[in-house]
Amino acid sequence: MATVWDEIEKTLLDLYSLPHNQFDSFGRRIVPAEEAKKKLNEIRSGLASVAREDYVGPRLFLRVVGPTTQRFYSGEWWFDAGLLDTLEAGFSRIYFDGADRKRALRDMLRELLAISHEWNQITEVWALELPPGQTIRGYAGPGTPQKLFANLPLSARGNRLLVGRARQVWFPVKNPLWVKVYRQFA
């Protein structure tokens, strides 16, 4: 019996086998099976468990990005907008000036989504607005803990594990016309 992980791997293999996905960003030919395995390992390292879910619009998913992020529209990792709403409601009872509020929200998102500094500086939030009646397949689960500074050992001063645990959704394919800027953190 095939597992959800097997389904993800097959989806990845199908995607990497498409003619327009036969080359990496440097123009080198890729081996679809190898790329699928690499991406599957990335997904496994990011989700503690996974479940396939078909979402029907209207739904709103968010993604945090930094100034060096090259994949605004094609980013695969998203979270339900309710997480940001919950954090904002929690912080609404505390007096912050605008910059401190943004920093607190950004830091909590980093902690709950387990996003290392090297991966993402979190300066913007982008939205995937699923239109009414449209459907998109995603694979969701709680995020795994990650190091605050991915390239340093945990024993290094200032490094620690980010909690993770927030529910994240990995979308293998989405309509880029559904994606737009949602908010600035910088």
Same domain, 87 and 178: yes
Same domain, 101 and 157: yes
Same domain, 86 and 172: yes
Same domain, 63 and 94: yes
Tokens (6 digits) for 34: 């190898």
Segment 36-79, tens digit of pLDDT? 999 999 999 999 999 999 999 999 999 999 887 666 677 899 99
Same domain, 83 and 136: yes
Which of 11, 36, 48 lies closest to 168 in space, CA to CA? Answer: 48
DSSP string, the chain: ---HHHHHHHHHHHHHTSGGGSB-TTS-B--HHHHHHHHHHHHHHHBSS-EEEEEESSEEEEEEE-TT-S-TTT--EEEEHHHHHHHHHHHTTS---HHHHHHHHHHHHHHHHT--TTT----EEEEEEE-TT-EEEEEEEEBPPEESSTTS-TTSTT--EE---SEEEE-S---GGGEEEEEE--
Segment 103-115, tens digit of pLDDT? 999 999 999 999 9
Count up the domains in the chain and report the number.
Answer: 2
The CA distance from 141 to 138, in Å, is 10
Which of 123, 91, 95 lies closest to 110 in space, CA to CA? Answer: 123
Same domain, 58 and 10: no
Tokens (6 digits) for 181: 């800027």
Same domain, 85 and 12: no
Q: Which domain range does residue 85 map to?
A: 51-184
Residue type, 172: P
Same domain, 115 and 69: yes
Which of 164, 125, 128, 152 lies closest to 45 in space, CA to CA? Answer: 164
Question: How large is the average pLDDT for residues 88-98?
Answer: 86
Same domain, 110 and 37: no
pLDDT of residue 92: 85
Same domain, 22 and 79: no
Same domain, 67 and 132: yes
Same domain, 169 and 131: yes
Segment 115-173, tens digit of pLDDT? 999 888 899 999 999 999 999 999 999 999 999 999 999 988 889 999 999 999 999 99
